[in-house]
Amino acid sequence: MGIESSCDDTSAAIIHNGKVLSNIVANQEVHAKYGGVVPELASRAHQQNIVPVVQQAIHQAGITKKDLTAIAFTKGPGLMGSLLVGTSFAKSLALGLNIPLIDVNHMQAHILAHFIKEENGKIPPFPFLCLTISGGHTQIVKISKHFEMEILGETIDDAVGEAFDKSAKILGLPYPGGPLIDKYALQGNPKAFSFSKPKVGDLDFSFSGLKTGILYFIQRNLKENPNFIKENLEDICASIQHTIVEILMDKLKNAVKHTGIKEVAIAGGVSANSEIRKRLLLAEKHWNWNTYIPKFEYTTDNAAMIAITGYLKYLDNNYADVSVKAEARLKVTE
């Protein structure tokens, strides 16, 4: 069983021989009206959700508690209060059932979700590159073995998910705004407005300038036309999304050029974005890349990715001691 509680989703999943039997995710609606995740409310909601979510995962998998062979949980990175709920629950369950406890790095899990066995699913060969894009991270990682990872480049300020969410907030959309920008962008013209791209190292990212650029652009236009957002929402969203995805693709192209590796995966919440998915498929055709795009349910936070990572560690007898602690800050390489 995998348990995920690093941010605002409470999730439990059961995996058997690399195949997912159940993957239950309880989203926390409570944060939408605050424009972002409120840590105290998140940990309280995890406490309320964790028992029913775990029970449902067991029930849907068609097993009983006694069939479980190990408990994997997210050790970090994430919000400390949220992590503590999953960590202490996993410890108690493993102790109670007298089975191994396995600690999982959430960022590694986003990447290792590609090793979930799916019908007609492709599993990336080593070494491969992964663009890890979420609300907290933006990295290009080289994966040489399951647990041998190297960060080739990363954001020097905001994560790409933040760029989506903060842009959405400027447009008056609720949190998390990424999926809404994606939705409105489908109806818009991506070339309607242009935003300047950041100038940073070949493999690094920066999104804070883009966010400020978008803010000034909107303020300027609202002065002339108070209905500017309403009248142009689709075009604005399409243009923002297009700029962000162009930045991501430019960096991926650089990474492929630098490493000579053409096996390219995406992972994390933002890999649900329809344009990045489309562009990656085009890259298969035009540049001969082999690309690996996760199923939607394994893009945003979920416990199936924790369970598969736990399973891979289980095969190595790589267990945690009951003294293991949650860690709010944890690199993908740790």
Contacts with ligand KG4, residue ranges (CB under 6 A): 7, 134-136, 161, 164-165, 176-179, 182, 268-270, 272-273, 300-301
273 binds, among Zn ion, ligand KG4, none (CB under 5 to 8 A by kind): ligand KG4
Residue 88 buriedness (CB in 10 A; 0-12 / 13-18 / 19+): middle
Which ranges of 186-227 would DSSP assign to H, the alpha helix? Answer: 208-224
Helix (H) or strand (E) holding 96: helix 80-97
CB of 281 to ligand KG4, least distance (A): 16
Shortest distance (Å) from residue 300 CB to Zn ion: 7
Selection from ligand KG4, Zn ion, none that 178 binds (CB < 5 to 8 A by kind) is ligand KG4
What is the nearest approach in angstroms of Zn ion to the Cβ of residue 236? 27
Query: Based on CB atoms, which residue is closest to ligand KG4, 27 or 221?
Result: 27
Nearer to ligand KG4, 94 or 165 (CB): 165
Residue numbers of the site for Zn ion (CB under 5 A)?
134, 301
Phi and psi of 253, rounded to 5°? -60, -45
For helices 39-61 and 80-97, give the axis angle rounded to 10 degrees: 30
Residue with the two structure tokens 């070494």: 127
Q: How far is the CB of 147 from Zn ion (least distance, A)?
A: 18
Closer Cβ to ligand KG4, 58 or 79, answer by number: 79
Q: How far apart are CA 110 and CA 270, in angstroms?
A: 11
Q: Minimum CB separation from ligand KG4 for residue 296, in Å?
A: 9
Residue 81 interacts with, from Zn ion, ligand KG4, none (CB under 5-8 Å by kind)? none
Q: Sign of the C-alpha dihedral, residues 51, 53, 56, 57? A: negative
Measured distance CA(178)–CA(200) in Å, rounded: 23
